[in-house]
Amino acid sequence: MAVGSGKLAEIFPVAGFRLGTTSADIKTPGRNDLVLMELAAGSAVAAVFTGNAFCAAPVQVAKNHLAAAGQADECIRYLITNTGNANAGTGASGLHDALTVCKSVAGFSGVEPFQVLPFSTGVIGEPLLVDKITEAIPSAFEALDNNTWLEAAEGILTTDTRPKAVSRQLKLGGKLITISGISKGAGMIKPNMATMLAYIATDACVEQTQLQDVLGRAVEKSFNRITVDGDTSTNDSLVLVATGASEAFIMAQADIELFEEALESVCVALAQAIIKDGEGATKFIEVIVSGGIDYKECMDVAYAVAESPLVKTALFASDPNWGRVLAVVGRAGVPNLAVDDVKIWFDDVLIAEQGGRALSYTEVQGQRVMDQEEFAIKIDLARGDCTETIWTTDLSYDYIRINAEYRT
């Protein structure tokens, strides 16, 4: 179950970036569950990771390898991702297993182990099936190609129902550059950094520090604005690679702004695709809070509404129970909130003002909006000039079923 068609537009290859997908039989026999990505020598890499204190072994290893590569003045050359097992909550043995996978990739390719970043997603707390992964690595190398984004997008999925991929192209300095990316995630979604897993590559020439800066800003406007269930994963990782193969150097301020705008567009599309494919989702909801004093105030209200079980179940029922939204705004912790000044809409339908139901509101109007797959809940706090937006889902029977049966 998902919102919208999920139809993908053309995904453009990125020069200097190849992907190979294969089956390691980690959880489901015959399913493609191992994805290798090869970066051209000299590529710049930026990354962000989960804010969960119990971060998975591959996250810890990836952070260490990024630091080691920087100290050695070497570039990251490979990314290796397995599904079916998160290698999280696995202690010292999990770290050893993640390193073993990196060493296997390094041994096959002739690079140093610290030039390999590992990623895992799936069940938490179970030992990684290292032997199966290492045995499948040669097959992943054989599959490497720069035009296999869709196969990789499918290979990183877990409870997702469909692949998530997007491309953008633009001209900078008279040269065409490409930005392509894939993501996965459907549950345990409330990133404080990125998403479950996402990989974005461009053939632009961008210096590493600058690449990290633009990634951080793009993440704040995209992946840090989504929630399915309010849970932050142990494995969240987002990697941005700039291969430089286009020889389009991003240096002038105008070019930086255009590049950042395109990157943000890719990140927003991938983040919204996760929400539209949220576990059991039947609704895609935009929560817009305006009139706040500052960012925190608007985001506190937005997330309170987006994560309220009572609001989310009303959304699933297509029930215009606006009182639930009103109640959540009131308990969101806004100091000295003047409730008579607050206004709430479903899309263009004003449902609440002056402390109660709007005089113009009718149940028919509310039902018309609620029957849609996609709409906005708009809240005006009438306290300041700040406006912030997040995206969320409803809460359905299928969400409960999927997570109740996750390990069976």
Q: What integer pLDDT is reported at residue 338 of this predicted model?
A: 97
Quick one: pLDDT band at residue 187, thresholds 50, 70, 90? confident
Give the least confident one: 126-140, 187-201, 264-278, 355-369.
187-201
120 has a pLDDT exceeding 90: yes
Sign of the alpha-carbon dihedral angle for 307, 265, 376, 314:
negative
Please compute the mean of the pLDDT values over residues 383-391 and round it to a whole number: 98
193 has a pLDDT exceeding 70: no
Sign of the alpha-carbon dihedral angle for 106, 110, 113, 119:
negative
Quick one: pLDDT band at residue 124, thresholds 50, 70, 90? very high
The proportion of the chain whose per-residue pLDDT surpasses 90, expressed as a percent, equals 88
Q: Is 195 an active-site residue?
A: yes
- Residue 287's φ and ψ, nearest 5 degrees, are -110, 115
126 has a pLDDT exceeding 80: yes
Q: What integer pLDDT is reported at residue 195 of this predicted model?
A: 60
CATH of domain 284-404: 3.10.20.340
Q: Are strands 175-184 and 116-123 parallel, antiparallel or unpaired?
A: unpaired
Query: HSE on the CB side for 114, CA within 13 Å?
Result: 13
Please identify which of the residues 50, 195, 282, 393 carries the catalytic annotation.
Answer: 195
Question: Tokens 């969320």 identify what position?
Answer: 392
* 240 strand-pairing partners: 46, 200
Please compute the mean of the pLDDT values over residues 46-54 and round it to a whole number: 94
In the chain, domain spans: 17-276, 284-404
* Burial degree of 53 (CB within 10 A; 0-12, 13-18, 19+): exposed
To 5 degrees, how large is the angle CA 244–CA 247–CA 252? 95
CATH of domain 17-276: 3.60.70.12
